[in-house]
């Protein structure tokens, strides 16, 4: 098996990632169901702090938001950069919740790691091996999203780069793969969740927002992910989705997210997972 460090060997226990928060340690992995939520991008200080407070009240565990955004068009909003990172850090101080954001360039890694609690490697960078080795040298947990056209083995081998560089805090995230289907943004590989739990000791999340691209599909796919054994979810939420600068069509409203979080909590407890 090529992914030696990511593989589950014999009766070894699944990895659990611990993150310090204002309310104590938060765990991601076996026995827990963790919800990461927030807008696709940090658009402004006022808007982000507003949604951060709303999400804290609904029980979200970790805030998300892009300071650096990979966009297909060079003319699309690509984030606020360092200013966005500072807003994320302010939201953490305000809410007591940890924050996760994406790094695109190894030259930005020090700043991203300084201002956030977790580092995300996005789908488009899953096989950016230079970036993988660099995040492997930092001491922040890493959310590694599956590439849009990557096999499960390639995904696990990408995790292997991070693990081999010395960072054992890797969390996998299924976000759908590109297929011939055009009615959804991507094709959600729910079976990959169950297979990862069989092959690897690493925690696995599902991002139903990027996976489907449709607000109406986020909740059913989120429920399916937890039923399949996912350790948590990454969900896009925006207080005014129609005005979002990116991914508004797949973003839940705070009210929609609150209803989903209630359902996920019940499902998690039925599966024997802790959901605080």
Residue 38's domain is classified under what CATH number?
A: 3.20.20.70
User: In the chain, pLDDT over 70 holds for what percent of residues?
Assistant: 99
Task: Give a yes or no: residue 21 inside a domain.
Answer: no
Sign of CA dihedral 76, 82, 87, 93: positive
Q: What is the number of residues in the chain? A: 276
> What are the CA-CA distances from residue 272 to residues 57, 140, 164 (Å)?
24, 28, 32
Task: Give a yes or no: residue 229 inside a domain.
Answer: yes
> How do residues 119-133 score in pLDDT, each as one tens digit?
999 999 999 999 999
> How do residues 91-121 score in pLDDT, each as one tens digit?
999 999 999 999 999 999 999 999 999 999 9
Beta bridge partners of 29: 16
Task: Count the domains in the chain.
Answer: 1
Task: Give a yes or no: residue 6 inside a domain.
Answer: no
Task: Give a yes or no: residue 22 inside a domain.
Answer: no
Task: Give a yes or no: residue 275 inside a domain.
Answer: no
Task: Give a yes or no: residue 7 inside a domain.
Answer: no
Quick one: average pLDDT of 181-192? Answer: 95
Task: Give a yes or no: residue 227 inside a domain.
Answer: yes
Task: Give a yes or no: residue 20 inside a domain.
Answer: no
pLDDT band at 271 (very low <50, low <70, confident <90, very high): confident
> How do residues 225-234 score in pLDDT, each as one tens digit?
999 999 999 9
Look up the domain containing 115 and give its range.
Answer: 28-268
Per-residue pLDDT at 1:
62
| DSSP secondary structure code for residue 34 in this structure | E
């Amino acid at each position: 098996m090529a992914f030696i460090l990511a593989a589950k060997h014999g009766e070894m226990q699944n990895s659990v990632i611990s993150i310090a928060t204002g309310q104590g340690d938060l765990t991601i992995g076996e026995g827990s169901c963790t919800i990461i939520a927030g807008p696709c991008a940090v658009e402004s200080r006022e808007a982000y702090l507003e949604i951060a407070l709303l999400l804290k009240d609904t029980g979200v565990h970790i805030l998300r938001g892009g300071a650096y955004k990979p966009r297909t068009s060079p003319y699309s909003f690509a984030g606020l950069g360092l200013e966005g990172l500072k807003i994320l850090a302010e939201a953490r101080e305000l809410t007591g919740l940890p924050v996760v954001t994406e790094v695109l360039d190894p030259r930005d890694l020090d700043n991203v790691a300084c201002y956030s609690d977790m580092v995300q490697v996005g789908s488009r960078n899953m096989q950016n091996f230079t970036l993988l080795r660099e995040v492997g040298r930092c001491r922040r947990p890493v959310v590694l999203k599956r590439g849009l056209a990557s096999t499960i083995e390639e995904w696990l081998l990408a995790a292997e780069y991070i693990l081999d560089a010395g960072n054992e805090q890797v969390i996998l995230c299924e976000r759908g793969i590109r297929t011939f289907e055009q009615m959804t943004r991507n094709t959600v590989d729910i079976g990959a969740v169950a297979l990862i739990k069989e092959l690897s000791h690493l925690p696995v999340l599902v991002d139903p927002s990027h996976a489907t691209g449709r607000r109406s599909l986020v909740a059913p796919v989120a429920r399916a992910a937890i039923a399949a054994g996912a350790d948590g979810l990454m969900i896009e939420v925006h207080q005014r989705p129609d005005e979002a600068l990116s991914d508004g069509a797949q973003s839940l409203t705070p009210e929609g997210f609150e209803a989903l979080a209630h359902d996920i909590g019940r499902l998690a407890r039925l599966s024997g997972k802790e959901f605080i």
